[in-house]
Structure 1
Amino acid sequence: MGEVMRDSEPTAAPARGTSDDASVDLRFAMARAHLALLFPASVGFVELRSKSCASGRWIQRFLPAADLDAVARSGLDLCVDHEVYVGVLSRERRGGGRDDLRRIAATVWADLDSADASRRAAAFTPSPSLLVRSGGPGHAHAYWALDRELPVEQIEALNAALAERLGADGASVDGPRILRLAGTVAHKYEPSVVVAPFDPASGPGPSSPAAADHCGVDGRTPGRGFEPRVRASDLVRLLDPSRPRASAPAPGGSSLGRASAPAIAGVPSAVHRDAAAPGPAGGGDVRRRLETVPPASYVRALTGLEVDAHNKVRCPLHDDHTPSLHVYATAEEGWFCFGCRRGGSIYDLAAALWKRPLRGRGFMDLRDDLLELLFSDVRRP
């Protein structure tokens, strides 16, 4: 990338447009709306990274996410003679590396580097919350704004799954990724191109009604062209269609009973189901009762560990010096350790801790023990 100069303050030059005052206002609205979608929590710092068209020199700026107006103005100031990019995820501190990121985020994305990939993204369900023309013919960036924050590792896993599904750039899935800021100008093309939000049905014209509609009146709130925030659990389920069961333990029971590797690294496996196994309360009712226990509750009961503010605990399945086992909000999502890559349901965690099988009589005993542990009204006959 060459020499990088860091600068935490915006420039003093006024923002300039490519044509007239109306285009300046619209481009500010584009940038502001893009930033509002990426940084809804207004926490930490936004990285702006720009490359001089004349010298090729890179500049990094880190501006408070609490003042997105200033970030948008700085981006437009720079784009007069720079290519301007924004760090997609919020930075905890002034730095562009992985260790500088906030550990949770609520946006996933895809770098659509072909017209075919852009068409697939436009037809994808759930629809992208925002599509931004990135410069080249048919090239765009797609964003899905989630209804809750997830660990950065899972954001990256979902990005990788989206890239595979859409035929997007698989190298642009990492947390520190920078992408072009809407409303700025891509100078590398002839003629220069405004990086503009667009509606696939209307085309990517930067001054079209569709672009203005996406940005809202002033860029501070999305216009009706934005899709509502996507349920994170829906995207996880959609991108992990196999939802593999936990595998049986090795002969002799020496290895931990554990989930087979998820189809997407970082996405938990499905709840184990053994439809043929009866139980002390009549089979299906027992399964439904256990499978609705919140993960935080059963993790606490099984491990004796309290889930921290980031929904993590130290994983008891390996030597874990920093909490790497993530506890999800719903029983369907379960748990996943980003250290040892194990995860799954209440049954998977209990089997791993107690060194029990997940099939046959052993599974029925496991289930009965869980019922006794978690429900005071259940006793073995």
Structure 2
Amino acid sequence: MTGAISRAEADRASRNASLVLGLTLPGDTVLYLLLPLHAAAFGVTLAEAGLLLAANRLVRILGYGWVASFYERAGPRQACLWAVLGAACATTCYAVLPGVWWLLPARLLWGLSFAAMNIATQALATAEAGGAARRSGTSRAIIATGPMLGLLAGAVVAEMAGPRVVFLGLGLLSLLALPFAWRLPDGEGARLRSAGPRFALPRPLDVWSFIQGLTLDGLFVLGLAFLAAAALPQGAALAAGAALSARYLAEVLLGPPAGRMAERIGAARLLLWVSLASAAGLAVIGAGWLWVGSLVVVGLRGLLQPLPAPVAAARAAPEERVAALARLATWRDIGAGIGPLVAGVLLPLVPALWLYLGAAALLAAASLAALRR
């Protein structure tokens, strides 16, 4: 941080950064819904759809340090202005470009744009110590509102006008973030003093984070759309869109109570319970109760979101806390990047029962190894 800012200035900057990400993020989340359901309309196979969805996180893992350095040099305003333009361009490309080799550069551009906006929301929310937790909670609610509404609206429009026209509208929506990006501090607000996520040998909690990304962020999201198309072919987009939208609603409603509950009973203990229950939800999906299991997993993810970081921070030495948090985030992104690839290849080949039971067993084993004391 290069200069002190007041609480009001920190509140305003955090709110504007959150609106920037909230207005642009639907361009990504709606793709997770519509691309697997309408792969042929985009000129790709299901396996290629998995590659495209994975590319967002994979490029972020590789490019996060470069983006963080650019953010340091340019400051929040310039970084987010470029990121909004990149996000709008990428989202529009989903509507007009056919085939995996045209869409892949758009996904890479989106991943780097998201990294810049994500850094801004986190750095500005913690720019001033007083009220940092309150700002972070408000930021999460603002950001999650965009995808929640975008998924529902995108599903409706896709049913009426086809999937690709949805992204023309979302590209225009992204441009509405430009005024909020322009209001961000110009280099003298909060700065991120971090080299970004670091690669390191995984510890038990890192392995759990990888498995969580693989199963709950990767397999679950792509698998929900795939299984919804088979179970409800006439209304798959609407049903899956509602379920995925509920994921963001759960984050808004259940994140703060989860934090308060963790303070009373311990974050690691609560995280173990929630992780094991999430594994049970995956098993329920595999057993054929798609919507029951999906709602269970969606609700539990809302409880889970605030918990891993406090557990990692509590277990690390003070001088290693930032590195531990970065390593945890990196392994989650790796898992979430690989998840759609695995799902895209295996879903057409492996019975859902065995695939989801295997995922549930992996998550349960990793949870017990990392969190049981």
- TM above 0.5: no
More strand by share: 1
More RCO (CA 8 Å, sep 6+): 2
The structure with the larger Rg is 1
TM-score (norm 1): 0.25
